[in-house]
Amino acid sequence: MKNKGISAIFRNQIFIPLAALLLLAVFNLVADPEFFKITLGYNAAGNPVLSGYLMTILDYGSELAILAVGMTFVTAASGGQDISVGAAIAIAGSVILRVLCGRDSRPETLRTSFLVAFLVACVVAALFGAFNGLLVSVFKIQPMVATLILFTAGRSVAAWINNNELPIISDPRFAYYGGFIPGIPVPTPFFIAIAVVIVTFLLLKFTNLGLYIQAVGINQKSSRLNGLNPTAIKFLAFVLLGLCVAVAGLIKVSRLSTINYSVIAKDIEMDAILAVALGGNALGGGKFNMTASILGAYVIQFLTTTLYKFNVQSDALPAYKAIVVILLVVFSAPTVREWFKNVWKKIVPAKTAKEVA
């Protein structure tokens, strides 16, 4: 009876990110307990601000969690990943600045409200998502190769939108989305992430979207025979990712109040894919667990922050993360799992035989 309970925990998808989180937490606790210290200070504007490594994780992990939501949909529906999210974030951010500033790169007054700029960015990002979706669903190109097009062109398009200028927004209210709202010491991206997650769960709870996406991901032919439209569902998944990208783009440009086309959201596609993989979701499509993906995103940020704390250069980070990815995919590969099962079987019967004797 007890054994059954334990194996159920092991089999639960959420076990993988939780175990990784625990491992990282214990590691940091042993290495330096200061890691968990949170201090209440005041920022330059005199507003109360919580700071500390955990707050950094909460802050930067949130934009990753938003992307992980969209990436989970795309992965589950199409069986591939979108590698253009970083470039698409650059486009969305560039659009926001273009709408707010117009042709003037140092505007005294902003052209429109933040909401209008954000909505325009949403439409543009959704359109680029639709472009990817079109290539994948209608032209049946492998998702990763199809998104490679936007991956190359995206940052160029972003620079072209603003005529290669770097507009700066001086209005302090614009910085609220990626920083702190006066009087609230918790970083705003966290609240935005919560809002996105709530919308996602409502969507999954009250519509059949989740079921349809899984059905298409597991077997496209049989889902079509059951009256679903796989082309439309895949297309929809990419559009949803586009919307998530727009939200992440808002947070990214708000952090700096400006944009750097070649650096903004660099390598974030790797982190987003990693979050989905760490959540135990099959990268080949099919079933997915949204909670695990979101938790996975925060675990990835935990790892990044830990590496930063040990003075790893930001350019060298990918090397360490790549090792984590390889370990993850190796241990989740069916051949390796089978091998472990066989080894386990060899050990377990030996034990029971001894007990009987």
Partner 1 sequence: MSKNNTQAAEKKSFIQKIFSMTDSNLLFMITITVFVLMYAGAVIFQGKGFLKPQTFFNILNTNAALIILSCGLSLVMITGGIDISVGGVTALVSMCCAVHLDYKGGSVGGAILIALCIGIAFGLVQGYLVAYLDIQPFIVTLAGMFFARGMTTIVNSAPFNVANEQFMKLKDTRITVPGMGSYNKKGIYVNAYVEIGVIVALLIVILMFIMLKWTKLGRQFYAVGGNPQSALMLGINVRFTRFMSQFLCGVLAGIGGFVYFLHVGSGSASHASGAEMNAIASSIIGGTMLTGGVGNIGGTLFGVLALSTIQNIVSSAGLDQAWWTGITIAAMLCIFLVIQSVVVSRKKKALSN
Q: What does the binding site for partner 1 look like in residue numbers (CB under 8 A)?
A: 80-81, 83, 135, 139-142, 144-146, 148-153, 155-157, 159-160, 164, 267, 270, 273, 277, 283-284, 313, 315-323, 325-326, 329-330, 333-336
Whole-angstrom distance between the N-terminal and C-terminal Cα of the chain? 23
Of 61 and 154, CB closest to partner 1: 154
Phi-psi region of 82 (alpha: psi -120 to 50; beta: other; left: phi over 0): beta
Burial of 134 (0-12, 13-18, 19+ CB in 10 A): middle
Residue 58 or 300: the one with the smaller Cβ distance to partner 1 is 300
d(CA 96, CA 246): 9
Comparing CB distances to partner 1, the nearer of 204 and 283 is: 283
Three-state DSSP at 196 gives helix
Residue among 97 and 110 whose Cβ is closer to partner 1? 97
CA distance 68 to 271: 9
Q: How far is the CB of 139 from partner 1 (least distance, A)?
A: 4
- CB nearer to partner 1: give 182 or 284: 284
Distances (CA, A) of 1 to 4, 11, 12, 15, 349: 5, 15, 17, 20, 19
Q: Which string of DSSP letters, residue by residue, matches 104-155?
A: -SS-SS-SS-HHHHHHHHHHHHHHHHHHHHHHHHTS---HHHHHHHHHHHHH
Smallest gap from Cβ 317 to partner 1, in A, equals: 6
Q: Do 88 and 128 touch, CB atoms closer than 8 A?
A: yes
Nearest approach, Cβ of residue 87 and partner 1 (Å): 9
Between 109 and 313, name the residue whose CB sits nearer to partner 1: 313
At its nearest, how many Å lie between partner 1 and the CB of residue 223? 20
Q: In angstroms, give the least distance from the CB of 211 to partner 1.
A: 25
Token readout for 120 is 């325009």
The nearer residue to partner 1, 51 or 258, going by C-beta atoms, is 258
Which string of DSSP letters, residue by residue, matches 201-230? HHHHHHSSHHHHHHHHHH-HHHHHHTT--H
Give least dist CB 229 to partner 1, A: 18
| 244, two tokens | 């998530």
Closest CB to partner 1 among 184 and 317? 317
Tokens of 100: 């707010």
Q: Which two tokens stand for residue 350?
A: 């030996």
3-state class (DSSP) for residue 93: helix
CB 313 to partner 1: min, Å: 6
Least distance to partner 1, CB of residue 165, Å: 12
Query: Which residues partner with 51 through β-bridges?
Result: 39
